[in-house]
Structure 1
Amino acid sequence: MKHRIALPFVALSVAALTACSQPAPPADNAPALAGEPIATRAVMIGTEGPSLPACSSISRVKAGGTDVYWAPGEARAVKAKLAGGARVSLCEAADNDAWFGIVFAAPGTDPDMCGVGKSVQNVREYQGPCRWGWIKGGTVQLGG
């Protein structure tokens, strides 16, 4: 009788732990190229303080476009590609401005829905609803 009770308890425990884990990233955050990300580093918003917008600058990708990575560093898997002229919000800089953490809307989606033009009280990871990632410094026209 002990084993019959233990098995459902184990199954419920596993189900509870699974429900608490973070959901998989949405399909539009999937890598554009084959391979799993080596590591991810979420983009932080609110880095300029609670009196300024969550992301400091709206910029445009320079002609030729750019790859969007899961984390700063070219050894990471590419998660998306942005065409030249695409609007992005710069939220965070890393490695002496060699990399920018960005938030961007899906094609055909209103960029204002990303919610990064409003202030946030504390620095935190960007949780959506738009896409996020890392681009190389020098691939955007600031304030574009």
Structure 2
Amino acid sequence: MKRHLSLRPALPLAALLALAVAGCSQPAPPADNAPTVTGEPLATRAVMIGTEGPSLPACSSISRVQDGGTDVYWAPGETRAVKAKLAGGANVSLCEATEDDAWFGVVFAAPGTDPDMCGVGKSVPNAREYQGPCRWGWIRGGTVRLGG
């Protein structure tokens, strides 16, 4: 009786070996180990409005994005995924800042919509997360001209 050797058990092993070799041939990740414009954010932090108290507007000032525009991120310090891009000269409402002013929490209207509909020019009884209807996010400090 002749014996035939089967190659079936070797196939999964060969596939695993090929995957391991392919993984080694990939380019090295960027220095911060993440792309700057794509992917899911690791952190999200909603912008707070009404932090200055019930007698002042929900967001402190209207400012303009500096020439060249800026990226809007999901949280202060989170630069792995860009939430939106704002053109130079775009209006944003500054609602909060990190302690070192390195990041500003902003609310802004979608292109072609009325910024007054954002509702951050009126006071709110208590500080709370901004829930819309406009867009919100975090921009780097120094990317806006304060006070528009």
Aligned-residue offset at 1:77: 1.4
Q: Matches of 1:106 and 1:52 in 2, distance apart? A: 24
1-structure distance, mates of 2:85, 2:139: 10
CA contact (8 A) 1:67 1:81 kept: yes
User: Any idea what the Cα deviations from partners look like across 1:17-48, whole Å, max 9, x if unmatched?
Assistant: xxxxxxxxxxxxxxxx4211111000000011
Please, which of 51, 69, 74 is the counterpart of residue 70 of structure 1? 74
- Other structure's SS at 2:117 match: helix
Which residue matches 1:14?
none
118-127 or 75-84, larger mean C-alpha shift:
75-84
Equivalent of residue 43 in structure 1, options 44, 47, 62: 47
Residue pair 1:70, 1:76 contacting (<8 A) in 2 also: no
Aligned AA (1:44): M
Letter in 2 for 1:101: G
Cα offset, 1:51, TM superposition: 0.2
Write the letter of the residue equivalent to 1:120. V
Q: If you compute each CA radius of gyration, which structure gives the higher value, 1 or 2?
A: 2
Aligned-partner Cα distance in 1 for 2:99–2:80: 15
Q: Alignment partner for residue 55 of structure 1, among 52, 59, 62?
A: 59
Match of 1:104 among 98, 104, 108: 108
Query: Which of the pair is proportionally richer in helix?
Result: 1
Query: Of the candidates 132, 136, 140, which is equivalent to residue 144 of structure 2?
Result: 140
> How many residue pairs get matched?
113
Instruction: Extract structure 1 runs of 4+ deviating beyond 6 A.
Output: none
1:99/1:135 contact within 8 Å kept: yes
CA RMSD of aligned residues (A): 1.3
Corresponding letter in the other structure for 2:112? G
5+ residue gaps, structure 1, are 1-32
Aligned AA for 2:74?
A: W
TM-score (norm 2): 0.74
Inter-CA distance 134–81: structure 2 relative to 1 (3 Å threshold): same
Query: For residues 101-129 of structure 1, what are the alpha-carbon distances to aligned partners after superposition, in whole Å with 9 as ceiling and x for unaligned?
Result: 00000000000000000000100000000
Which residues of structure 2 form unaligned runs of 5+?
Answer: 1-36
Distance (Å, rounded) in 1 between the aligned partners of 2:53 and 2:102: 22
